[in-house]
Structure 1
Amino acid sequence: ASDMVWEFYSTADQIDVNPGAVNQMIFVAHNPTDKPMSAQAIPSITPAEAAAYFHKTECFCFTQQVLQPGERIEMPVRFIVDRDLPKDVKHLTLAYTLFDITARHPPVAHLTGQDLQGAR
């Protein structure tokens, strides 16, 4: 989203998909700020008629993501494309919009051992 400051990208521009098999893409997120942030990813598939044949089995979009200041993570997406995908569909595009939800769902900063001793 336009107000999201995280770096967010896939590690590959495209992959060859095997219909009926489990396929995987890796996405990377980096919080360049000095504060913990929460985010939610919303997926989209094009062409729209192909969405019914695309099934995510694991996705970072299923949950909110929390990144600490400077943290970078790799997030896998595992999916299956139905063998019944119409023959005229030769390319699918999986896209995500990443929204900053920090104001609505404030993250908790990681505490160090020293922080915990001071909290006692």
Structure 2
Amino acid sequence: MAATAERRNEKVAMTLAGIVLGMTGLAFASVPLYQLFCQVTGYGGTTQVATDAPKGVIDRQMTVRFDSNIDSALAWQVTPARPVSGQVGALETVTYRATNTTDKPLTGMAVFNVVPEKAGYYFNKMECFCFTEQTLAPGETVDMPIVFFVDPEIDQNHDLDTVREITLSYTFYASNTEGS
């Protein structure tokens, strides 16, 4: 009888250990899986990364507005690009300008989102400063380009028929690596 109870206890202990290991694995995998989900679906205003130019333009007009926010831990001044209006599918290049307002090198990075969120799936960036950390020397000013297009397939999504404006917003924050 004691051996049977001992076997049951071992079985329960092994099951619980498996559950703990499984939950720990899921916790570590959740961030990359969520990022993959957002990239595939455009959920949360996540944009797409394009390697090829759009396959043509359509008559539909779209205005893209730009916004910037700066975390208080990063002493940069950032001027967003001016809005652009044009045909959906046209390749556009705009520039953000950032200045380090301190007397020491500062490294920052930007995260982005698109509003309306559903439009993120159709917003394609070919080049963007948000892909890498930026280190600015004291007082340095840099122009940071974004090359993008709105995919003409947005016209096939009837939930977005009334969308004529998209806002691309960047939040700049201090990176853990200060300076070069």
Q: Calculate the TM-score normalised by the size of structure 2.
A: 0.56
1:100 maps to 174
Distance 1:2 1:44 in 2: 19
> How many Å apart are 1:54 and its aligned residue?
0.2
> How many Å apart are 1:105 and its aligned residue?
1.0
| Equivalent residue in structure 1 for 2:98, among 15, 29, 36 | 29
> How many Å apart are 1:31 and its aligned residue?
0.1
User: Displaced runs of 4+ in structure 1, greater than 4 A?
Assistant: none
> How many Å apart are 1:62 and its aligned residue?
0.5
1:65 maps to 134
Q: Calculate the TM-score normalised by the size of structure 1.
A: 0.82
Q: Which has the higher helix share?
A: 2
- Could you tell me which amino acid in structure 2 is paired with residue 55 of structure 1? N
What's the % identity of the aligned pairs?
35
> How many Å apart are 1:57 and its aligned residue?
0.3
- Could you tell me which amino acid in structure 2 is paired with residue 37 of structure 1? L
| Equivalent residue in structure 2 for 1:7, among 53, 77, 87 | 77
The question of whether the paired residues in 2 share the 8 Å contact of 1:54 and 1:82 is answered with yes
Q: Say whether 1:18 aligns with 2:87.
A: yes
- Larger Rg computed on CA atoms: 2
- Could you tell me which amino acid in structure 2 is paired with residue 107 of structure 1? G
> How many Å apart are 1:23 and its aligned residue?
0.9
- Could you tell me which amino acid in structure 1 is paired with residue 171 of structure 2? T
The question of whether the paired residues in 2 share the 8 Å contact of 1:10 and 1:25 is answered with no
> How many Å apart are 1:89 and its aligned residue?
1.1
1:33-48 aligned within 5 A: 33-48=102-117
> How many Å apart are 1:53 and its aligned residue?
0.3
Gaps of 5+ in 1: 109-120
Distance 2:133 2:87 in 1: 29
Q: Deviations over 1:39-68 (max 9, x none)?
A: 000011000000000011000000000000
> How many Å apart are 1:77 and its aligned residue?
0.5
Distance 1:4 1:107 in 2: 12
Ranked by relative contact order (alpha carbons within 8 Å, sequence separation 6 or more), the top structure is 1
Q: Root-mean-square deviation (CA), in Å? A: 1.2
